[in-house]
Structure 1
Amino acid sequence: MRPLKKEDINQEIFDLYDDYAHNKIDRRQFLEKLSIYAIGGLTVSSLLSFISPNYVDSILVKPDDERLESKYITYESPKGGGSIKGLLSQPDNNTKKLPGIVVVHENRGLNPYIEDVGRRAALEGFITLAPDALTPFGGYPGNDDDGRELQKKRDRFEMLEDFIAAFNYLKSHNNCDGNIGVVGFCFGGWIANMMAVRIPELKASVPFYGGQPSDEEAVQIKAPLLLQYAGLDTRVNAGWPAYETTLKEHNIEYTVYFYPDVNHGFHNNTTPRFDKEAADLAWNRTIAFFKEKLK
């Protein structure tokens, strides 16, 4: 049998995976529903393997890239999870203070994709910190299924405090100039929105397909926003009209892009939801936004 390709996968399978990845259904229900599509030579195992992340072959900036100084650090989050681990990355042999970016993971901890994103951003001339909100449980467990289960055990507002503490860590870092932004994906997109709510000094926020704050929360935003949404992501997109109304009514600076015909998670190049054209465009816009707002 030839290898599966993206065009072999029914959109309903992507929607089903999205429900599973966001805890709408459990693994047993996911596999039962997935079996409906195991026809014509397709098996459940082949479908599951294809739609699951492939971290080994997808890393763009290797952990030992000589252009970077990238290492794990710990910082204190007194209102959150205590001592939190994170990946701190910056250009190698840097001799000047740099603007900072907090990089926020999805709902499964600091997996290799998010670490890679942290390194990608650092190569653009930033000092980046990608925290792991699963640190209180020993950190990202090595696979996303277990990571999701662990993250469900933490309160999301307590985790928000961990990322606010990451902002504070960068702000006081000797190599940071104090101009700090945040980029987050999925759960991290909600965190990016909420950091804009909670941190008046935040200089820029880029939520990728992130849940929106309440109207009462949104009016507190001071940071300019660059909001990136997937056209097929009806679950997250449903909250946008009310959010936009509040942003407009209170003259909050924002730019929003909807990328047509792509799925939630389109920036994540480790799964078939990845759309290279949309991901590259969104990332280029992200870096340009940070260079404008943080430098």
Structure 2
Amino acid sequence: MKNSVLNDIPLWHPPAGRGPGLVLVQEIFGLDDYLRSVASDLAAAGYVVAVPELFWRTAPGWSSTHDEAGVAASMAVMASFDPASGLSDVLATVAHLRSLPSVTGGVGVLGFCLGGSLAFAAAAEGDPDVTVSFYGSTVAQQIDALSRVECPIQFHFGGTDPYIPRSDVAVVEAAVASHPGAEIHVQEEAGHAFHNHVAPMFHHPEAAARAWELTTEFLRRTLPA
């Protein structure tokens, strides 16, 4: 087993070889084809992207299918996941990117699902320069931490998410309304993990396209490549 999340951490570089850094934080499915495609898209947009392996302590190399069986297996892996350790890994990856000669400018965090919750926690407890959080299931329960977030932050949710009640999303909306530098976008017709294009049970192409355009515009504004 590896002894650090930074051992052999995968990196994606932009065509120029240099740029701002982004820590891309996984869903419960691990580092899979979907996450690799997102990393490639962000690198093509000009960012140096690092993806920490959150389950390296208990299930190294974890990756699952994107169906009911994969969700069940991933939830079983999640049962032994320590969020505090995961947050430590994300913050360590932020620091690691800042130490690389190829990283110029700031370093941001972008996460989906489990990663969306950890991205928000990283913004509250660490010092990323920008944060994007997609459908983090614990965000509403931890929303008081928004007062500690000093960087620009963008939240995305689906309005019909079976795992995150619309009432929880409303809690985040209310908090964001009074927090400078924060914004929230709700794709009302979409459910959970709607951006995941390799998961037919979740993917909502129209909502995904809208949310990704909002994300890339936000990054261009707050962490220009």
Structure 1 length-normalised TM: 0.66
Task: Provide the rounded CA distance (Å) in 1 between the counterparts of 2:11 and 2:37.
Answer: 11
% identical equivalent positions: 24
Unaligned runs of 5+ in 2: none
Task: Provide the rounded CA distance (Å) in 1 between the counterparts of 2:176 and 2:63.
Answer: 39
The higher radius of gyration belongs to 1
Shift in alpha-carbon separation, 1:275–1:206, aligned structure 2, 3 A: same
Question: Which residue of the partner structure matches residue 208 of structure 1?
Answer: 134
- Show CA shifts across 1:228-260 (max 9, x none): 1112115424323333433444x3311211112
Instruction: Tell me whether 1:283 sits opposite 2:212 in the alignment.
Output: yes
Q: CA deviation at 1:207?
A: 0.8
One of 64, 80, 98 as aligned partner of 2:19: 98
Instruction: Give, as a single letter, the amino acid of the residue that structure 2 aligns with 1:103.
Output: L
Matched residue count: 213
Shift in alpha-carbon separation, 1:243–1:281, aligned structure 2, 3 A: closer
Equivalences for 1:21-100 in 2 at 5 Å? 76=4, 83-92=6-15, 94=17, 97-100=18-21
Shift in alpha-carbon separation, 1:257–1:248, aligned structure 2, 3 A: closer
Shift in alpha-carbon separation, 1:142–1:224, aligned structure 2, 3 A: closer
Instruction: Give, as a single letter, the amino acid of the residue that structure 2 aligns with 1:157.
Output: A
Question: Which residue of the partner structure matches residue 44 of structure 1?
Answer: none
Task: Provide the rounded CA distance (Å) in 2 between the counterparts of 1:239 and 1:231.
Answer: 10
User: Pairwise CA RMSD of aligned residues?
Assistant: 2.2
Shift in alpha-carbon separation, 1:75–1:89, aligned structure 2, 3 A: farther
Q: Are 2:16 and 2:46, in contact at CA under 8 Å, matched by a contact in 1?
A: no
Shift in alpha-carbon separation, 1:235–1:222, aligned structure 2, 3 A: same
Task: Provide the rounded CA distance (Å) in 2 between the counterparts of 1:216 and 1:120.
Answer: 32
Q: Are 2:159 and 2:187, in contact at CA under 8 Å, matched by a contact in 1?
A: yes
Task: Provide the rounded CA distance (Å) in 2 between the counterparts of 1:229 and 1:247.
Answer: 13
- Show CA shifts across 1:193-248 (max 9, x none): 11110123x22111111131524422101111111111211542432333343344
One of 116, 126, 129 as aligned partner of 2:47: 126
Question: Which residue of the partner structure matches residue 108 of structure 2?
Answer: 181
Task: Provide the rounded CA distance (Å) in 2 between the counterparts of 1:224 and 1:214.
Answer: 17
Task: Provide the rounded CA distance (Å) in 2 between the counterparts of 1:112 and 1:287.
Answer: 20
Task: Provide the rounded CA distance (Å) in 2 between the counterparts of 1:87 and 1:238.
Answer: 37
Task: Provide the rounded CA distance (Å) in 2 between the counterparts of 1:263 and 1:234.
Answer: 7
3-state DSSP class of the match of 2:131?
Answer: strand
Q: Are 1:171 and 1:179, in contact at CA under 8 Å, matched by a contact in 2?
A: yes
Task: Provide the rounded CA distance (Å) in 2 between the counterparts of 1:86 and 1:106.
Answer: 17
Instruction: Give, as a single letter, the amino acid of the residue that structure 2 aligns with 1:230.
Output: G
Unaligned runs of 5+ in 1: 1-73, 78-82
One of 246, 251, 258 as aligned partner of 2:186: 258
Shift in alpha-carbon separation, 1:93–1:214, aligned structure 2, 3 A: closer
Instruction: Give, as a single letter, the amino acid of the residue that structure 2 aligns with 1:222.
Output: E
Shift in alpha-carbon separation, 1:137–1:235, aligned structure 2, 3 A: closer
Higher relative contact order (CA 8 A, sep 6+): 2
Q: CA deviation at 1:168?
A: 0.7
3-state DSSP class of the match of 1:86?
Answer: coil
Shift in alpha-carbon separation, 1:142–1:208, aligned structure 2, 3 A: closer
Task: Provide the rounded CA distance (Å) in 2 between the counterparts of 1:239 and 1:136.
Answer: 31
Instruction: Give, as a single letter, the amino acid of the residue that structure 1 aligns with 2:206.
Output: E
One of 143, 154, 158 as aligned partner of 2:85: 158
Q: Are 2:25 and 2:51, in contact at CA under 8 Å, matched by a contact in 1?
A: yes
Structure 2 length-normalised TM: 0.85
- Show CA shifts across 1:4-23 (max 9, x none): xxxxxxxxxxxxxxxxxxxx
Question: Which residue of the partner structure matches residue 168 of structure 2?
Answer: 239
